[in-house]
Structure 1
Amino acid sequence: MGTDEEKEVGEKSEETEKLGKQMSEASLCTTDNDDEDYQGKVDLGPQYTLKETFELDKDDESLRKWKEQLLGGVDLNEIGETLEPEVKILSLAIVAQDRPDIVLQIPEDGNPNGTWFTLKEGSAYKLRFTFHVNHNIVVGLQYNNTVWKTGMKVDSTKEMLGTFSPQAEPYTHEMPEETTPAGFFARGSYTAKTKFVDDDNKCYLEINYTFDIRKDWLAT
């Protein structure tokens, strides 16, 4: 028999899966050779508005309390009957010690012109995102990033951001600290593709851009 803590973790996992099934079937973002081997669409069952999701299994006390905790102060009367969540990535910031944050605005078409930013070789930094969630709960929002140098893939990152309910204020998520490579062969220009997808593989933003690694940060 498991401990009370193990039982609680198991119950929360079941509740998350149950909620995900209630809300599923969103439009899907097809992948390419650099992503998971996923093609086409998957039938994930009926999809529900936020109001309908809250009413489902309302006699299940533990699930009801979990939904209330997830939704927080969301006014269901103001959400409306929209099925699809809307996630808008507002900005990306590069945070490093002993220098001002580099705040990058996201172009409407997701394709920044020219070199988007420059990193100093051998330096520790973090990425910080700000984003809005509207209309419905987004389940399993994920950050995927692939980097190439001279046509060769040199890095691939996937980070689960979490599940978020709609709210007026933007969310902020900070990635784990990374360190840029150093040395003659590390310096130069890179191309990258960043995508934000959810558990249904719905793609909310794809950014294609270039960045540089140099001996030092650019002067501010």
Structure 2
Amino acid sequence: MADQTIAISGTKLEGTKGFPMNFVNRMFIDTDPKINEVGDVDLSDLTTGKWAYLGSGINTITPGSNETTTNDAYYDGGGFTDTDVTGKQITFAFSGNRKLGNPAQDYVASKFYGIGTSVKTRVIWVNNGHAVISAATLTAIVPTGGAANAKQTISFTISFNGQPRLAGGELTLTLTSTPTVYSANVDTSKKPTGDEVDLPIKIIDTATQSESASDSHTPSSGSDNGSH
């Protein structure tokens, strides 16, 4: 069923000026990543993903760049050194409260004992309206914990693998009939113009009636028909 409500005026943040709120940034994780024959995550087709929003229960996201640097002193430097950044590992540390039944959290928690390719996936990071796509590895997963009389906690880190990428057109994420899980589409006929490097992402947070009907009557290939 289509959403029959709309946001109250003034509560929806739009535009690109002023001080942005952190919650406008969003991380989506593919809970059904495709791994090729050599153990790499396929980034070529975003439409095959089940993109679960990592938002519910999450109260802190901390990005990091983990830079590799060299420090060299040259004869013309007067005894002082030059620093060059020769590499980076992009990471995002998440922490919050465990929420059972949330597709993104359940997926991450299920990888607690995982190693190798089982903890590899791909993510879409949306930063102030623009998306970056990357293969990633789930690390430092702590799926539960805390005081006896407190909510269970969860924490983990998403580590990017290799150079992140941009969508080759207009990327749209559309909410499916499964709450907090989105489908992806890239319109490659639309390209950046002028000084734009990429196009802003479109996120549709309401499942369309036709999509909901399709999801409920036509299981995707290789699905378990809803049994978990």
Assess same fold via TM > 0.5. no
Superposition TM-score, scaled by structure 1 size: 0.25
Superposition TM-score, scaled by structure 2 size: 0.24
Task: Return the structure number with greater helix share.
Answer: 1
